[in-house]
């Protein structure tokens, strides 16, 4: 069933407008949740964004919000329907990590970020699909199947946050929460015309929840239609927690205006990798539009340590997966997605020194990322979020990019380094390609400058909308 994407993006007002309507009594959380559920009934059969929707639970959550409003509370996300990725704990809900191994798991408590959303008045309407263990760049698994891209259901929305982005892009919810250990909440938004923020590592607390195979780089991320909506969700979730030893308090906001920022443009992020010509042309045109809008943009490429690519850093993920799921894979390989089984097998073959070397390289990448901004006197760097648009839903990745054969992660090369730098990174829409599929522009800033990156992203969004 074709989806009218213009209507989908206009289906919801802003998050602030939804909350104001509920706070002022012009609507109710129950009514907003009902609107979301009706949209899910209409569209999700063709998209498969959700792994579970419990209408009784939704009704109870909405009733609690409406009771708080009736008691005089005003809530920043009052009645806002939200989807939560299927690897983030929501108390009392089945959270499976897209895995048959966890098909019967029910979360015993909320992740801290989820608890903060609930405290702010958001209503969780469903759990959104992910690749198994959130560990590959498309969203399909043996338990729940494949999620499809609302812009073209023959295409993937990417991964691993494909369910969250498909839910927002189709208008089933106005807000979703994903995770990002290598670009999983930046590339899927780029493929679906959305905004996805990976905060500075530790800015939003991670857990309580599942053990992570990614060793201190994964973040919980807001995904929405606009930068303003994304920023509102971020402000609700941000802040240190005693339950997360990696969480941290952001430095004071310097409120630097975008027109005072010195921004680098890096067409390939300092990497020798293929980029589809249409992607390169669109991003270059977006950058020129930003220059004409008054932003100061210079051409600069980051310099990375030798081996700072998938081959050098992949041992961290492979080793983590093997440590967590190696025994299960040996005993029941048919229960695990073969793509994940290959990663687990590779992890089991690693020596401890292989993983240690990858962890040391991760530290070197973090230092290189910090030095780039300091040595060049930069506030931000921009470039493509991905080297290609979305690809067919039945493929792990595109076989070629710009006519050059690439591996299954060839589409993912521009995002993982900024998990290792622990810096904030955001993807904003960068127009559509000739086939009508969205592209994204990635913006990165030094660690701790999350509010500045949101401020710049809002200026970029405004300038590009004016030139679309």
Please give the positions annotated as active site. Answer: 85, 160, 184
Count the neighbouring beta carbons within 10 Å of the beta carbon of residue 253.
13
Q: Which residues contact 279 (CB under 8 A, 6 or more apart)?
A: 384, 386, 387, 388, 389, 433, 439
Q: Which of 175, 140, 198, 144 is nearest to 36 (CA)?
A: 175
**Measured on CA atoms in the order 222, 226, 227, 231, is the torsion positive or negative?**
negative
Q: Which of 91, 29, 90 is nearest to 65 (CA)?
A: 29
* Helix residue ranges per DSSP H, 333-406: 338-348, 352-376
Distance (Å) of CA 102 to CA 96, 105, 163, 356 = 5, 5, 18, 29
By three-state DSSP, how is residue 21 classified? helix
- What CA–CA distance (Å, rounded) separates 47 from 108? 29
On whether the CB atoms of residues 183 and 218 are closer than 8 A, the answer is: no
264: its two tokens = 């680098």
* Helix residue ranges per DSSP H, 238-309: 277-292
Residue 349 backbone phi and psi in degrees, to 5: -85, -10
| Half-sphere exposure at residue 331, Cβ-oriented, CA atoms within 13 angstroms | 5
On whether the CB atoms of residues 426 and 442 are closer than 8 A, the answer is: yes
By three-state DSSP, how is residue 444 classified? strand
On whether the CB atoms of residues 127 and 84 are closer than 8 A, the answer is: yes
């Amino acid at each position: 069933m074709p989806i009218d994407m213009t209507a989908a993006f206009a289906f919801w007002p802003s998050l602030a407008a939804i909350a104001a309507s509920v706070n002022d009594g012009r609507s109710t959380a129950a009514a907003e949740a009902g609107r979301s559920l009706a949209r899910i009934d209409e569209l999700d059969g063709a998209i498969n964004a959700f792994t579970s929707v419990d209408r009784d639970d939704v009704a109870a959550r909405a009733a609690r919000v409406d009771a708080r409003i009736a008691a005089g509370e005003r809530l920043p996300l009052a009645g806002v329907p939200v989807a939560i990725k299927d690897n983030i704990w929501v108390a009392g809900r089945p959270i499976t990590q897209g895995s048959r191994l966890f098909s019967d798991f029910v979360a015993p408590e909320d992740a801290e970020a989820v608890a903060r959303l609930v405290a702010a008045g958001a209503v969780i309407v469903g759990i959104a699909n992910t690749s198994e263990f959130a560990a590959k760049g498309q969203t399909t698994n043996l338990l729940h199947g494949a999620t499809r891209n609302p812009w073209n259901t023959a295409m993937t929305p990417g991964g691993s946050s494909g369910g969250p982005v498909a839910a927002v892009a189709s208008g089933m919810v106005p807000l979703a929460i994903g995770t990002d250990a290598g670009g999983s909440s930046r590339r899927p938004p780029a493929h679906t015309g959305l905004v996805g923020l990976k905060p500075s590592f530790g800015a939003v607390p991670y857990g309580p929840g599942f053990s992570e195979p990614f060793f201190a780089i994964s973040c919980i991320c807001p995904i929405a239609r606009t930068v303003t909506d994304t920023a509102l969700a971020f402000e609700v979730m941000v802040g240190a927690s005693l339950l997360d030893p990696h969480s941290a308090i952001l430095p004071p906001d310097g409120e630097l205006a975008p027109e005072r920022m010195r921004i680098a443009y890096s067409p390939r992020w300092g990497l020798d990798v293929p980029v589809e010509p249409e992607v390169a042309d669109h991003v270059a045109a977006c950058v020129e539009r930003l220059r004409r809008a008054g932003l100061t943009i210079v051409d600069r490429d980051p310099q990375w340590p030798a081996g700072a690519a998938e081959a050098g850093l992949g041992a961290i993920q492979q080793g983590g997966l093997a440590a967590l799921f190696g025994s299960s894979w040996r005993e029941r390989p048919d229960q695990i997605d073969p793509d994940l089984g290959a990663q687990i097998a590779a992890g089991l073959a690693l020596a401890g020194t292989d993983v240690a070397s990858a962890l040391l390289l991760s530290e070197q990448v973090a230092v290189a990322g910090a030095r780039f901004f300091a040595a060049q006197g930069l506030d931000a760097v921009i470039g493509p979020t991905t080297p290609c648009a979305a690809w067919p839903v039945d493929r792990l990745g595109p076989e070629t990019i710009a006519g050059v054969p690439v591996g299954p992660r060839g589409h993912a090369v521009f995002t993982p380094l900024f998990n290792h730098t622990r810096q904030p990174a955001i993807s904003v829409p960068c127009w559509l390609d000739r086939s009508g599929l969205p592209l994204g522009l990635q913006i990165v800033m030094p660690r701790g400058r999350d509010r500045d990156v949101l401020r710049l992203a809002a200026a970029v969004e405004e300038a590009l909308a004016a030139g679309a």
